[in-house]
Amino acid sequence: MRDSLKPGNDEFNRRMKALANLERIAGPVKLPTDKKAKGGSVEGQAQGGSVKMSQEVGRPHGIKSLSFEDYAPNEVELVNLEAHEQGKGHGTRAMRKITEAADKHKINLMLIPAGDESKRERLSDFYGQHGFNEDGDVLRRPYRRADGGAVKLPTDKKNKGGKVEVRPTVFDDAASRRNPSIEAAARALMEGELKQKAYAKLVAKEKPVKKYDFIPQPATNERAMDILLPRQKQNWRAHESWPAGRRVGLRLDIPAYERHGVWVNSVHDEEGSGEHKLPNSYGPVSSVRNATFEGSPDKAIRVATGEQNKNSFARIKGELEHINEEQAVEHFKKYLNHPDYRQVGYDPRRHGDFYDRETMQPITHSEHVVQIGPLVLAKNPKYGKPSLYAKGGDVDKAKFLEGSKVKDVLYRGGIGHKELPTEFLEGKPRVGYATFASTSPHVAGSYAHTDEGESEFAGGIAPMHINVHTLHEFPVTVDKHGSRRFDKFAFDRHARQLQPGHALVARQVIDYGSRASTKTDPQKLYSYPSDIYAWNKGTKTKSAISKAKGGITHAHHLEIEERPL
């Protein structure tokens, strides 16, 4: 953050200016000093703050250097934060630990961005994502109370007539965190055990929605270049050269936010095909006319139940309109609270459709849409019926399972090149093998996780029903510790000999795959017992979610994000 402070150099002069500004606002302060007072303690009233921060945060993974220094009463300076490699998300994750520690110990943070104007601007943008605000030449972050509110610090900035502010969004880890209560309720909803009104009430309590009272600061070119993948960097702002009126789809780049706290808009060509299809473009703002909102409820429910990672499958489709950051911000200042415009949200963990952030009604169409990161503003929207999600299973699900010895939903996990083969999704076995599945989506997920560097592969989970008239119980033993075990090699041999309509099951055993990962399953639910099933070629299968007749469709495999963690 800062270079060595030598009297006369630019950084020293900037630091003195910052201190003068702070003194004008908050009263006299002392310069940091390394001198020891009597008894060996550091001088200054806030002498314990930096020690508490250092002890609480330690050295986070991927961080090369990190240091704190007492700056003023109850305020600690973040002196230095340097990652071994940029663009890997290490700095973002370290900042989460730092801000959590500051909130825990009720410590206000500050820093003085160093370097040339361009570098200071990048730093201000990065730290702004974590709750820091500009205060002259200083960036300051007040600690947050347990109720989520921020402690007010003295400032010389005036609120000019109540105008809408433009400010960075603060990273909220809860926005992407899985919610066990919602996942359980979503599964109950799909099984017909919970009414939609009850589900909506639970979601409103667990994940309340609020309107924006400010305009999110658009992502800067410099910050985008820091966090995007090479192929994305090549297409940064590419849509600005596309012809106006071309049919496109707008969405968010989920990994950019969840891993780096940066909101990046993605623009997809919906008009071209084959060699004429334009590559995906990325930018800070985007806009379309005559918009349709496509939320993909069938995929959204899989995110809500925890069977699929959150992914960018929902899109706002329309006719491309060219707009830059300045124009977008001015549009929001003018229309953010205008009665003809509505704020639009989308979260597959809440609902299956785009919704009005105030009324929660599903939105289907709009005359004009402008998007800055997480905030979408739609003109004269049209509303649809509140259905939450596409209904699970076929209407003739009961008929399909009639006479079957297996009623449970079974989950099959695996990986494929770019996408999962149709045979996998339909529950068909590979040549020389049987099909294996579990009653736990987490166990199936332990066969579906793709590692860093495997961006050419897609992992997936296919939920399905099977219709079998004969079920064979495979022997399971219990060891002295009470663990249930089975001979996996013998299970495999027996499975390959099964006839159509027959299935094999090992009850309540532990059988997780080599791709088990705490990144996708931090609670290690894959290590819990489940029933393991096997069947062979010719056994009838049916999607546990899709309304489409036949087997599992591509819409229901787990779409692992390509970006490395």
* 325-359 tens-digit pLDDT: 999 999 999 999 999 999 999 888 777 789 999 88
Distance CA 227, CA 218 (A): 15
The amino acid sitting at 229 is: L
Given a cut of 70, whether residue 218 has pLDDT beyond it is: yes
Residue-wise pLDDT for 498-554, tens only, equals 999 999 999 999 998 888 888 777 888 888 889 999 999 999 998 876 443 333 333
Q: Are strands 502-509 and 470-473 parallel, antiparallel or unpaired?
A: parallel
Distance CA 2, CA 49 (A): 19
Structural tokens at position 22: 């702070």
Given a cut of 50, whether residue 464 has pLDDT beyond it is: yes
Closest by CA position to 308, among listed 516, 460, 147: 460
Q: What confidence score (pLDDT) does residue 320 get?
A: 96
User: At 18, phi and psi to the nearest 5?
Assistant: -65, -40
Residues 6+ apart with CB under 8 A from 373: 169, 216, 218, 219, 252, 263, 264, 265, 284
Distance CA 86, CA 246 (A): 36
DSSP H or E stretch at residue 205: helix 196-206
Distance CA 558, CA 457 (A): 12
Q: Are 363 and 382 in contact (CB under 8 A)?
A: yes
Q: What confidence score (pLDDT) does residue 486 get?
A: 92
If one compares 341 and 20, the residue with the highest pLDDT of the two is 341
Distance CA 20, CA 136 (A): 10
The label of the residue with tokens 């490395």 reads 564
In this structure, what DSSP letter does residue 175 have? G
The amino acid sitting at 414 is: G
Q: Of the ranges 46-50, 121-125, 188-192, 389-393, which one carries the lowest mean pLDDT score?
A: 389-393
**Average pLDDT score, the chain:** 78
Q: Are 336 and 164 in contact (CB under 8 A)?
A: yes
Residue-wise pLDDT for 487-506, tens only, equals 999 999 999 999 999 999 99
Given a cut of 70, whether residue 13 has pLDDT beyond it is: no
Average pLDDT over residues 10-28: 49
The label of the residue with tokens 């003085």 reads 112
- Counting Cα atoms < 13 Å in the Cβ hemisphere of 451 gives 5
For 380-399, letters b (16+ CB in 10 Å) and e give ebeebeeebbbbbbbeebee
Residue-wise pLDDT for 157-207, tens only, equals 333 344 788 888 766 655 656 778 888 888 787 766 777 778 888 888 888
∠ Cα 106 107 111 (to 5°): 155
Q: What confidence score (pLDDT) does residue 520 get?
A: 75
Closest by CA position to 242, among listed 294, 277, 293, 275: 277
Q: What confidence score (pLDDT) does residue 366 get?
A: 95
Q: What confidence score (pLDDT) does residue 131 get?
A: 80
Residue by residue, DSSP assigns 247-312 as: EEEEEE-HHHHHHH----EEEEESS--GGGSPPPEEESEEEEEEEEEE--HHHHHHHHTTSS---S
Distance CA 348, CA 493 (A): 41
Q: What confidence score (pLDDT) does residue 391 get?
A: 46
- Whole-number Cα distances in Å, 178 to 196, 476, 490, 523: 20, 33, 37, 11
Q: What confidence score (pLDDT) does residue 418 get?
A: 65
Q: What confidence score (pLDDT) does residue 220 get?
A: 92
Distance CA 80, CA 64 (A): 10
Domains and CATH numbers, the chain: 10-157 (3.40.630.30), 173-383 (no CATH), 397-556 (no CATH)
Distance CA 323, CA 286 (A): 7
- pLDDT interval class at 372 (50, 70, 90): very high
CA trace torsion 534, 535, 537, 542 (10° rounding): -100
- 463: buried, middle or exposed (CB in 10 Å: 19+, 13-18, 0-12)? buried
Distance CA 41, CA 30 (A): 15
Distance CA 506, CA 488 (A): 10
Q: Are 249 and 288 in contact (CB under 8 A)?
A: no
Distance CA 459, CA 450 (A): 6
Distance CA 549, CA 536 (A): 21
Residue-wise pLDDT for 248-298, tens only, equals 999 988 788 877 888 999 999 999 888 889 999 999 999 999 999 987 766
Residue-wise pLDDT for 468-486, tens only, equals 999 999 999 988 777 788 9
The label of the residue with tokens 């050269």 reads 241
The pTM for the full model equals 0.48
Distance CA 62, CA 81 (A): 11
Where on the phi/psi map is residue 344: left (φ > 0), alpha (ψ -120 to 50), or beta? Answer: beta
Q: Are 194 and 188 in contact (CB under 8 A)?
A: yes
User: At 205, phi and psi to the nearest 5?
Assistant: -75, -45
Residues 6+ apart with CB under 8 A from 275: none
Q: What confidence score (pLDDT) does residue 299 get?
A: 67
